Amino acid sequence: MSIAICVENLVKQYKDVTAVDNISFTVNKGHCFGLLGPNGAGKTTTIEIMEGIIAPSSGQVLYQGREVDASISQQIGIQFQHTALQYFLTVKETLNLFSSFYQHTLEQESLIELCDLGDFLNRDNRLLSGGQRQRLLLALALINDPEIIFLDEPTTGLDPHARRNFWQLIKNIKARNKTIILTTHYMDEAEQLCDDIVIMDQGKIIESGTPTQLLSKHFNEVFIYLPKEQVPAELSAEHSWQKHGERIEITTANVEQTLALLMKKNVSLDGLHVKSANLDDLFLHLTGHALRGEA
């Protein structure tokens, strides 16, 4: 597996604050790489250094062995979390405008098809829905046919249907052997899209690996949920089961044994829900708080 990006001993210091504290990681070519962390974790600063927007205090970022310089802007694509689009321009006019900024661009018809823009090409930017706007912004990030694409929380504010449609677009881009750097506050999004993830907190990397590896490393148990009124308080206390809102959470390594115990105690299994650990649980386990709650 060839390495697309190598981050080496990166540090960014702002007076008394160390925003990025000596972190290192690699991003494999053709992978979707997730950089996760709460607000203030240092991930935005890390991304901006990787994009060449700000300089590190020390350390370096290498693209296929070459250090970042001014030419990197022609070689990467960025979908910022907040991008102002020119009023009174249509989607097609916006594509033409941004094409003029680059020496090399992707053939426009391919871009329109890849990002599914065909139904609203002649619509004014002001009249786009949230999902349509994000698809246009994705197209603008791809317009120079970059090998590496940075997506900064691209589905924030989208409804569930639009989010899933956007996920498919990202999968289609990855299928073209593009390397994607994704920041997101949605753990289901990271679990769906990312081959590898790095979790940051307080400027440091606290865990890294594939989602499957990390879940296997930190969890060998599953969660059973039941409505709290169905579980006697003394039984919960005896087994240290936790109350979460209107439900009782039972953590167990043996589902059959636990269900047998509940039936033996004549506990109704109506509303039973069994769930394996996911990245939300991992983040809570590692940091003590939910990522989405910090968003």
What pLDDT was estimated at residue 282?
87
Give the residue among 31, 3, 77 at the shortest CA–CA distance from 174: 31
| pLDDT greater than 60 at residue 294 | no
Q: Could you tell me the CA-to-CA distances from 101 to 52, 97, 136, 145 in Å, in that order?
A: 17, 7, 16, 13
14-68 tens-digit pLDDT: 988 999 999 999 999 999 999 998 888 898 899 999 998 899 999 999 998 888 7
191-236 tens-digit pLDDT: 999 999 999 999 999 999 999 999 989 888 899 999 999 999 999 9
What tokens does 239 get?
A: 């087994």
Mean pLDDT of the chain: 90
Task: Report the percent of the chain where pLDDT is more than 70.
Answer: 97
1-8 mean pLDDT? 91
The answer to whether 88 and 160 are in contact (CB under 8 A) is no
What pLDDT was estimated at residue 226?
96
What is the reported pTM?
A: 0.83
Query: Which has the higher per-residue pLDDT, 294 or 17?
Result: 17
